[in-house]
């Protein structure tokens, strides 16, 4: 079975989706076969962070969940786009689709079995022989997120080290503890210059009762949104990429 990493956050817009896409890419570069799952049904966007434009996808996870299509119909190979070479490393996406009907129905009515998310991930892992699956969730406490946490081997809680980011700490810690997530880690994002890792590690332990997986610095290029696609592929030397690379190494290490 692959390692399931669920990336979650209390607040929205903290850079969670960006982290998932690029972490997946870096793990694939390390030679892992990686699946990316967009479980942020309410506002999918993982495909964008991977460089797949909106118009290119017809079907997504919601279609699978409500039984309109099978898993095969939605899986998208990001290998060529990510420029992955011939090695074992691979990157596949189970995307969400930005379509009113596809999103509104399941998201608002809640009329699907969340267990299918779990089953879909397992089937995807088997079909693609995956080593790791990264699940991007919608922020806050919601059904998909709780399920994704319940099946996770690793929970990465993304948080900005600001007042809002810290306020969610205790609740997120409680949820992952009660769900018995084997590894609960904090990933700080959009870290402003001047905050030390030592200080952040302390905050992680105090507020989240968890060790810190890494700290991703604020990146003006990301904030401006003037670039599309996998950031880590375009800016391999960027401090953001370097910091995320450490996280990738950490996760790859947890696998064994």
Partner 1 sequence: MAELSAVLVLRDRTSLETSQEDGHDLDEALRAARMRVVHALPDEVVKHLTGPDPPDLLLLPSSLGADRVGRYGMLLRRGNGDLLVPPAPEGDPSGRHQGRHTAVMVYLDGELADLEACVKHGYHYLVPPYRGSLIRTQLMCDVERHRLARVAEEAALAVSLRQYERELRIAQEIQEGFLPSDLPCAPGWEIDVRFRPARAVAGDFYDAFPLLQGRRLSIVVADVCDKGVGAALFMALIRTLLRHTAEHAGQWNLFDGLPPLEALARDVRQESPALVPGAAPLLQAMTGTNRYMTSNHQGYFATVFFGVLDPESGCLLYANGGHNPPLLRRVGGRLERLQVTGPAVGLHPDSEFRLAEVRLDPGDVLLAYTDGVTDSRDPEGEFYGEDRLSALVRGLAGTSLGLLDRVEADVQAHLRDGEQYDDITMLALRRLAGR
114 binds partner 1 (CB under 8 A): yes
Chain residues binding Mg ion by CB under 5 A are: 16-17
Over the Cα atoms of the chain, what is R_g? 17
> Would you count residue 197 as binding partner 1 (CB under 8 A)?
no
> Which of these, 227, 223, 228, lies nearest to 53 by C-alpha position?
228
Strand pairing report for 212-217 and 183-191? parallel
**In the bound complex, what is the minimum distance in angstroms from residue 192's beta carbon to ligand ADP?**
10
Q: How far apart are CA 156 and CA 146, in angstroms?
A: 13
Q: Does 219 bind ligand ADP (CB under 6 A)?
A: yes
By CB under 6 A, tell whether 13 contacts ligand ADP: yes
Please report how close the Cβ of residue 142 comes to partner 1 at its closest, in angstroms.
8
Residue 168 Rama label (left phi>0; alpha psi -120 to 50; beta): alpha
By CB under 6 A, name the one of 1, 126, 205, 223 that touches ligand ADP. Answer: 223
**Which listed option, ligand ADP, partner 1, Mg ion, none, makes contact with residue 222 (CB within 5 to 8 Å by class)?**
ligand ADP
Q: Per DSSP, which regions of 25-168 are E strands?
A: 33-39, 76-77, 90-94, 132-137, 154-159
Q: What would the two tokens of residue 2 be?
A: 């692959």
Please list the residues that pair with 134 across neighbouring strands: 5, 36
Regarding 140 and contact with ligand ADP (CB under 6 A), the answer is no
* Distance, CA of 67 to CA of 59 (rounded, Å): 12
Nearer to ligand ADP, 15 or 95 (CB): 15
18 binds, among partner 1, ligand ADP, Mg ion, none (CB under 5 to 8 A by kind): ligand ADP
Q: Which stretches within 209-238 are classed as H helix?
A: 220-224, 231-234
**Residue 214, strand partner residues:** 187
109 binds partner 1 (CB under 8 A): yes
Binding mask 8-47 for partner 1 (x = CB under 8 A): ----------------------------------------
Of 164-193, binders to partner 1 (CB under 8 A) are: 175, 178-180
Exactly one of 110, 192, 202, 211 binds partner 1 (CB under 8 A); that residue is: 110
Q: Are 223 and 192 in contact (CB under 8 A)?
A: no
Residues at the site binding ligand ADP, with contacts judged by CB under 6 A: 9, 12-18, 45, 189-190, 216, 218-219, 222-223, 225, 240
């Amino acid at each position: 079975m692959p390692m399931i990493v669920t990336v979650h956050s209390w607040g929205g817009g903290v850079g969670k989706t960006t982290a998932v896409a690029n972490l997946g890419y870096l793990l694939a570069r390390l030679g892992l076969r990686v699946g990316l799952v967009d479980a942020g049904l309410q506002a999918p966007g993982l495909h964008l962070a991977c460089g797949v434009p909106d118009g290119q996808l017809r079907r997504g996870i919601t279609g699978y969940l409500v039984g309109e299509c099978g898993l095969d119909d939605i899986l998208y190979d990001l290998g060529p786009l990510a420029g992955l070479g011939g090695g074992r490393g691979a990157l596949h996406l189970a995307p969400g689709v930005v379509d009113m009907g596809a999103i509104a129905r399941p998201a608002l009515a809640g009329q699907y079995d969340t267990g299918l998310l779990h089953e879909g991930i397992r089937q995807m892992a088997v079909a693609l022989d995956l080593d790791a699956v990264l699940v991007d969730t919608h922020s806050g406490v919601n059904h998909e997120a709780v399920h994704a946490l319940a099946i996770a081997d690793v929970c990465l809680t993304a948080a900005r080290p600001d007042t809002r980011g810290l306020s969610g700490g205790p609740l997120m810690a409680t949820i992952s503890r009660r769900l018995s997530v084997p590894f609960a880690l904090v990933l700080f994002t959009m870290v402003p210059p001047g905050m030390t890792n030592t200080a952040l590690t302390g905050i992680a332990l105090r507020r989240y009762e968890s060790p810190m997986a890494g700290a991703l610095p604020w990146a003006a290029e990301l904030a401006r949104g003037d670039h599309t696609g996998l950031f880590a592929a375009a800016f391999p030397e960027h401090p953001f990429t370097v910091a995320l690379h450490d996280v990738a190494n950490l996760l790859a290490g947890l696998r064994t």
